[in-house]
């Protein structure tokens, strides 16, 4: 399976402010809306002269003389006028439909859904995805994104933490595609090239970062790092195992040379993508911690930092 980042992002740019190519709009808890059926309902002729446009901060009279501002509305735009046919984004749910349409345009097969939890499960099971951040806090997500690990065409999923007032009762409720290493596009509310945290400010939300790794360059440090290392952080020993871009750590001293059966945490390592004196960095996907390391000339020891501050040192076992 191949994936074209450019094709996926081109689709997003073309369709972020209108309906997707299949002519439907997803609604939470209700049947999808057919754009063509709506045109017939409104008597819009000729149908080809009318297109859908998402409108932000739409104002209208509530019927009682009060001016109401809706975060989003959908309108038919045609000869000399526009007609709003959906207003108020509550109940709209076109984000996953838009995202899967973008990914399909990029070459991802057998993915068609308007349900974010399904998209989450599907993407995790692809052979070339890396979950470089798994339900991270806003700070952890920001650390990973600031290192430019995410590329255009990658995905971010938004998780409402269950509890009183949680959006839609909690769970995965929103999704978006990266159009640059730090900005996204999505539907509901429609966005293009806006900050990754624009849909939700992080209060009561966590974030999952899905990176497509099919076009990542080989990591020169693979041969150097492969195997076990004993690390020291905050005076405590940890044991890291590296293998082909994957990293694991445990607090138990290894008893064999192989991949750890039991591990405390998992992550991925990459070459630095921003100016750095480090040779590689690790993104621990369950915490959002980012560690950066330089390899000694004899290739037997590591020196680095945890989240840009606290020192970590290590040596090969």
Structure tokens at 31: 């049947």
Could you read off the pLDDT of 271-305 as tens digits, one per residue? 999 888 899 999 999 999 999 999 999 999 999 99
Q: Report the C-alpha gap between 81 and 62 in whole angstroms.
A: 21
Q: Are residues 256 and 272 in the same domain?
A: yes
Answer yes or no: is 22 within a domain.
Answer: no
Q: Are residues 254 and 291 in the same domain?
A: yes
What are the start-end ranges of the E strands in the chain?
A: 24-27, 30-34, 51-61, 67-78, 81-87, 129-136, 155-160, 171-178, 183-186, 191-195, 205-212, 227-233, 236-243, 246-250, 265-270, 280-284, 290-295, 301-306, 310-316
Q: Are residues 102 and 163 in the same domain?
A: yes
Q: Are residues 9 and 131 in the same domain?
A: yes
Q: Report the C-alpha gap between 69 and 162 in whole angstroms.
A: 28
Q: How many domains does the chain have?
A: 3
Q: Are residues 134 and 80 in the same domain?
A: no
What does the pLDDT read at residue 1?
Answer: 63
Cβ contact 172:159 at 8 Å: yes
Q: Are residues 101 and 159 in the same domain?
A: yes
Answer yes or no: is 21 within a domain.
Answer: no
Beta-ladder partners of 249: 240, 265
Answer yes or no: is 24 within a domain.
Answer: no
Q: Are residues 256 and 280 in the same domain?
A: yes
What does the pLDDT read at residue 59?
Answer: 79
Q: Are residues 110 and 171 in the same domain?
A: yes
Domain ends where: 164, 190, 212? 212
**Residue 66 DSSP code:** -
Answer yes or no: is 19 within a domain.
Answer: no
Identify the CATH number of the domain in which residue 287 sits.
Answer: 2.40.128
Answer yes or no: is 18 within a domain.
Answer: no
Handedness of CA 233, 235, 238, 243 (dihedral sign): positive
Q: Are residues 107 and 233 in the same domain?
A: no
Cβ contact 25:86 at 8 Å: yes
Domain ends where: 87, 109, 126? 87
Answer yes or no: is 20 within a domain.
Answer: no
Q: Report the C-alpha gap between 116 and 203 in whole angstroms.
A: 20
Q: Using N-to-C axis directions, what is the helix angle for 116-124 and 95-105, rounded to 10°?
A: 30
Q: Report the C-alpha gap between 248 and 239 in whole angstroms.
A: 8
What does the pLDDT read at residue 62?
Answer: 66
Longest dimension (CA), the chain: 78
- 3-class state of residue 189 by DSSP: coil
Tally of CB atoms within 10 A around 297: 7
Q: Are residues 205 and 311 in the same domain?
A: no
Q: Report the C-alpha gap between 74 and 11 in whole angstroms.
A: 19
Structure tokens at 162: 């269950």
Residues of the chain with pLDDT under 50: none
Cβ contact 264:249 at 8 Å: yes
Q: Are residues 68 and 196 in the same domain?
A: no
Tokens 């195992």, residue located:
241
Lateral strand order in the sheet of 67-78: 51-61, 67-78, 81-87
Cβ contact 12:179 at 8 Å: yes
In terms of residue numbers, what domain contains 101? 5-13+93-212
Q: Are residues 9 and 137 in the same domain?
A: yes
Q: Report the C-alpha gap between 77 and 51 in whole angstroms.
A: 5
Answer yes or no: is 112 within a domain.
Answer: yes
Answer yes or no: is 258 within a domain.
Answer: yes
What does the pLDDT read at residue 92?
Answer: 82
Domain ends where: 212, 235, 260? 212
């Amino acid at each position: 399976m191949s994936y074209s980042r450019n094709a996926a992002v081109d689709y997003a740019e073309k369709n972020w402010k209108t309906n997707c190519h299949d002519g439907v709009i997803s609604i939470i808890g209700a049947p999808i809306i057919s754009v063509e059926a709506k045109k017939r309902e409104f008597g819009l002729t000729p149908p080809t002269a009318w297109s859908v446009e998402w409108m932000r901060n739409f104002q209208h009279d509530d019927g009682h003389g009060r001016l109401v501002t809706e975060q989003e509305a959908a309108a038919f735009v045609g000869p000399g006028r526009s007609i709003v046919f959906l207003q108020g984004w509550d109940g709209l749910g076109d984000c996953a439909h838009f995202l899967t349409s973008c990914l399909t345009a990029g070459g991802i097969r057998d993915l068609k859904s308007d349900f974010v939890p399904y998209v989450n499960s599907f993407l995790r099971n692809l052979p070339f995805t890396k979950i470089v951040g798994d339900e991270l806090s806003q700070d952890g997500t920001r650390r990973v994104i600031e290192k430019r690990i995410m590329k255009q065409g990658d995905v971010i999923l938004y998780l409402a933490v269950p509890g009183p007032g949680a959006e839609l009762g909690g769970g995965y409720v929103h999704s978006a595609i990266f159009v640059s290493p730090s900005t996204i596009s999505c539907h509901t509310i429609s966005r293009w090239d806006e900050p990754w945290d624009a849909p939700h400010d992080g209060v009561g939300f966590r974030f999952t970062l899905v990176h497509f790794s099919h076009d990542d360059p080989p990591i020169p440090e693979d041969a150097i790092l492969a195997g076990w290392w004993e690390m020291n952080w905050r005076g405590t020993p940890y044991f890291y195992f590296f293998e082909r871009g994957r990293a694991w750590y445990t607090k138990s001293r290894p008893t064999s040379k192989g991949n750890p059966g039991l591990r405390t945490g998992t992550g991925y390592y990459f070459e630095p993508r921003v100016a750095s004196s480090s040779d590689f960095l690790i993104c621990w996907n369950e915490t959002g911690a980012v560690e950066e390391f330089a390899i000694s000339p004899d290739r037997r020891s590591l020196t680095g930092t945890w989240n840009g501050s606290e020192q970590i040192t290590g040596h090969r076992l």
